[in-house]
Amino acid sequence: DAGVIQSPRHEVTEMGQEVTLRCKPISGHDYLFWYRQTMMRGLELLIYFNNNVPIDDSGMPEDRFSAKMPNASFSTLKIQPSEPRDSAVYFCASSPRGRWTDTQYFGPGTRLTVL
């Protein structure tokens, strides 16, 4: 089975531009997570979905960030307008069910650089 798929793998943009990151979870997984990783703050959960419904977005840093999951096989994380401090690696992860023994499977990440 294919793992979690993310695109693009690298994104370089200028401050003020809109950025859209994409994720395809593992088929059959009910949970999808968006993380951001920086050297200073480590791996931070931004938002997660259960069956396409956003459950907890308390980690979304501000209104410039939004995430959607229109169907079970696709999610987007949008930053508008982007700022240099948004530069980070953004990971998408999925897991099968809502159990506390579930493993999260990570995608390869999108490295975002905002100039």
Partner 1 sequence: QKEVEQNSGPLSVPEGAIASLNCTYSDRGSQSFFWYRQYSGKSPELIMFIYSNGDKEDGRFTAQLNKASQYVSLLIRDSQPSDSATYLCAVFPSGTYKYIFGTGTRLKVLA
Rule CB under 8 A: choose which of 11, 34, 67, 107 binds partner 1.
107
Backbone dihedral angles phi then psi of residue 8, each to the nearest 5 degrees: -75, 170
Q: In the set 7, 12, 16, 56, which binds partner 1 (CB under 8 A)? A: 56
Residue owning tokens 């396409």: 52
Cα angle value 1/112/22 (rounded, 5°):
40
Instruction: Decide whether 86 or 107 has the Cβ nearer to partner 1.
Output: 107
Out of 45, 73, 81, 113, point to the residue binding partner 1 (CB under 8 A): 45
Nearest C-alpha neighbor of 25 from the set 87, 96, 81? 96
Give the interface with partner 1 as residue ranges (CB under 8 A). Answer: 31, 33, 41-45, 48, 50, 55-56, 91, 98, 100-101, 103-109
